[in-house]
Amino acid sequence: MPNVILLGAPGAGKGTQAKRLVAKYGIPQISTGDILREAVRNGTPLGQQAGPLMSAGKLVPDELVVGIVRERLKQPDCSGGFLLDGFPRTVPQAEALERSLSEMGRVVDAVVELDVPADLIRARVLGRRSCPACGAVYHVSDSPPKVAGACNQDGSALITRDDDRPEKVEKRLSEFAALTRSLSPWYAGRGLLRKVDGTASPDAVFQQVVQVLGDGR
Ligand code: AMP
């Protein structure tokens, strides 16, 4: 079972591909964004620290997210492999991950980067709507709900995630650009980076992802 990292800008399709990988390989998806959003909803100390940074489209400090991931990787469901989504986002986070894994006698098997041009990313993120109750994600034109503005599963009114608003999107894209500049070459230097064209349909992207994982093991 693979230990995989999924890299890609917000809106590159990480969430969609992550769900499919989880189903195919039976590994847990570890999304630092999801964990942090839950902490914000529950008003925990972590959430209180992270919330304002997240709604400003800024990164949460490395030591906070590194701590979250370290604890999560120790859980028994990660013993047969894991899929990291949204982490690492900086080289220091990648270094900390490498150290934590080596303490556990483990390594990263592959880093899959979903490559999508910035204009397409903007169109995807700005049209994204989510269900506040169940977390289902839609797109106003690419994958609309059956009834406009309402979740297919539970009928809740769909919302635009605060950090999917235009001004926040630009901030997140520039943070992401700064990150990839350093993170992709860092993993490429370790022979782990597998780039995939993320502009195709979700099915076609998934085929490529499975193929590069096969090649990489
Ligand atoms: P995401 O859902 O992955 O786009 O994450 C949403 C927000 O959570 C980001 O804009 C950051 O504020 C924060 N976040 C998630 N993962 C990380 C990370 N690895 N490092 C720093 N901040 C993070």
Cβ of residue 15 lying under 6 Å from some atom of ligand 1:
no
For residue 185, which phi and psi values (nearest 5 degrees)?
Answer: -60, -30
Nearest-angstrom CA–CA distance, 148 and 154: 13
Joined together, the tokens standing for residue 192 give: 């782990």
pLDDT value at 5 more than 50: yes
pTM of the full predicted structure? 0.83
Annotate 41-80 with DSSP letters as a single string.
HHT-HHHHHHHHHHHTTPPPPHHHHHHHHHHHHTSGGGTT
Q: Ligand 1: which of 31, 46, 60, 97 to mutate, judged by most atoms within 8 Å of the beta carbon?
A: 60
Residue 31 CA: nearest ligand 1 atom is 3
Per-residue pLDDT reduced to its tens digit, 202-211 = 999 999 999 9
Q: How many CB atoms lie within 10 A of CB 199?
A: 14
**What pLDDT band is residue 96 in, cutting at 50, 70 and 90?**
very high
Whether ligand 1 lies within 6 angstroms of the CB of 13 is answered as: no
Q: All domains of the chain, ordered by start, with CATH?
A: 3-27+80-213 (3.40.50.300)
Residue 1 has pLDDT above 90, yes or no: no
Percentage above 70 pLDDT, the chain = 98
User: Vertex 23, ends 20 and 28: CA angle to 5°?
Assistant: 100
Catalogue the active-site residues.
14, 89, 128, 161, 172
Q: How confident is the model at residue 217 (pLDDT cuts 50, 70, 90)?
A: very low
Which 3 state secondary structure label does DSSP give 84? Answer: strand
The ligand 1 atom at the shortest distance from the C-alpha of residue 69 is 19
**84 has which bridge partners?**
5, 30
In angstroms, the CA 150 to CA 22 distance is 26
Quote the CA–CA distance of 54 and 73 in Å, as a whole number: 23
The per-residue pLDDT for 36 is 95
| 216 pLDDT higher than 80 | no
Angle between helices 32-42 and 62-73 (to 10 degrees): 100
Q: What phi, psi does 122 have (nearest 5°)?
A: -60, -45
Q: Name the DSSP letter for residue 13.
A: S
| Packing angle of the helix pair 166-189, 118-126 (nearest 10 deg) | 130
How much is the average pLDDT of 44-58?
Answer: 91
Q: List, for residues 122-181, the tens digit of each pLDDT value.
A: 998 899 999 999 989 999 998 999 999 999 999 999 999 887 888 888 888 888 888 777
